[in-house]
Structure 1
C-alpha cells in the first residue's frame, strides 16, 4: 500500500506562512528530491495557486540550480487539486479532484506506485482527522512569525507521534519525521 506523507514548512511558533520562510538551496533540493520519489501531490486551492509560481521558472529558468530543479520536479509530478472554486487548473500535470478527499486518498493508497504527498495545511488537517496520514515531515524554520495560520488548528483529538528521524539543514531548519501512533484521545 502506498504511503501518504504530509510535508510542510512551518515556523518555530507553529505557523504555515510562506512569506516569512525563506528556503535556501538546500531546502529547495530537499523538496525536489522528495517530489522525485513520489507519484502525486495533493493540494487545496490556495496552496495550489501559490505553487503555480513555479510554472514561470519552467518557461524562464532563474539560473539558480536548486530553484530550477524544484520547478522541474513540481512541474512533472501529478497534482490533484481539491477546490470548489477553480474551474480548471491551467497546468498540464494538474487536475481537479472529482471525489471527496477521503475517497480519493483511499483509492490512491490502494493503487500500486510511489508515495502520495500532501502539501496543503487544510488537507493535512482533514486527512489527520480521518487517520489517513502515514508520515509527517515537518520542516521547522528558525523563524518566529508571531501570527498566521497554525498548522494544527482546531484539532478534535490529541494525537501522539513517534519521531523516526530528523534532518538538519545548514541554514538552521530541521525536518522532523514523525509517524502517528494512532493513539488518539479526545481534547476537553
Structure 2
C-alpha cells in the first residue's frame, strides 16, 4: 500500500502562501528529491495553476541549477488535478480527476509503487477530514506573514500527530515530519 504524504510550505504563523516563503537552492533540491520519490502528486485547481509557472522554466531555463532541476522534476511526475472548472490541463504529465477525491485516493493507495504527494492546501484539508493522510511534511519558513490562508482552516476534529523527525535548511526553514496516530477526537 502506498503512502499519502501531505507536503506543503508555510510561514511561521501558519499561513500557506507560495510568495511568503524563502526558497533557495537547498529547498528546491529537497522538493525535487521528494518529487523523484513519488509516482503522482495531487493538486487542486488553484495550486495547479500556480505550479504551471515551472513549465515556462522548461522552455526557458533560468540558469539557476536548483530551479531548473526542480522544473524538470515537477514536469516528470504525473499530476492529478481536482477541479470543477478546468476542462483541460495543458500539461502533458497532468490529467483531471474523474472521481471525487476519496475514491481517487483510495484506489491510488491500493496500487503498488512510490508515494503519493498532496501539494494543495484544500486537498490536504479534505484528506485530513477523511483520515487518509499517512505523513505530514510541513516546511516552516522563518517568516511571519501576518495574514493569509491558514493551513488547518475549518478543521473541527482534534487530530493527534506523532513527531517523526525534522530537516533543517541553512536558510532557516525547517521541515517537520509527522504521522497521524489515529487518535482523532471530535470537538463539536
Range of TM-score over shorter length: over 0.9
Aligned to 1:55: 55
Aligned to 2:129: 129
Are 2:38 and 1:38 equivalent residues in the alignment?
Answer: yes
Shift of 1:182: 0.6
Q: Work out the CA distance in 2 between the residues paired with 1:182 and 1:28.
A: 31
- Pairing 1:165-176 to 2, within 5 Å after superposition: 165-176=165-176
C-alpha deviations, 1:135-186, integer Å up to 9, x for none? 0000000000000000000101000000101000000000000000010111
Q: Work out the CA distance in 1 between the residues paired with 2:135 and 2:148.
A: 24
Structure 1 residues without counterparts, runs of 5 or longer = none
Aligned to 1:90: 90
* Superposition CA RMSD, Å: 0.5
Q: Work out the CA distance in 2 between the residues paired with 1:37 and 1:48.
A: 19
Q: Work out the CA distance in 2 between the residues paired with 1:121 and 1:26.
A: 23
SS in 1 for 2:160: strand
Q: Work out the CA distance in 2 between the residues paired with 1:69 and 1:132.
A: 30
C-alpha deviations, 1:46-81, integer Å up to 9, x for none? 000000000001111111000000000000100000
Are 2:161 and 1:161 equivalent residues in the alignment?
Answer: yes
SS in 2 for 1:167: strand
Question: Stretches of 4+ moved more than 3 A in 1?
Answer: none
Shift of 1:22: 2.4
Q: Work out the CA distance in 2 between the residues paired with 1:157 and 1:2.
A: 25
SS in 1 for 2:85: coil
- Pairing 1:1-188 to 2, within 5 Å after superposition: 1-188=1-188
SS in 2 for 1:140: strand
SS in 2 for 1:126: helix
TM-score if structure 2 supplies the norm length? 0.99
Shift of 1:126: 0.2
TM-score if structure 1 supplies the norm length? 0.99
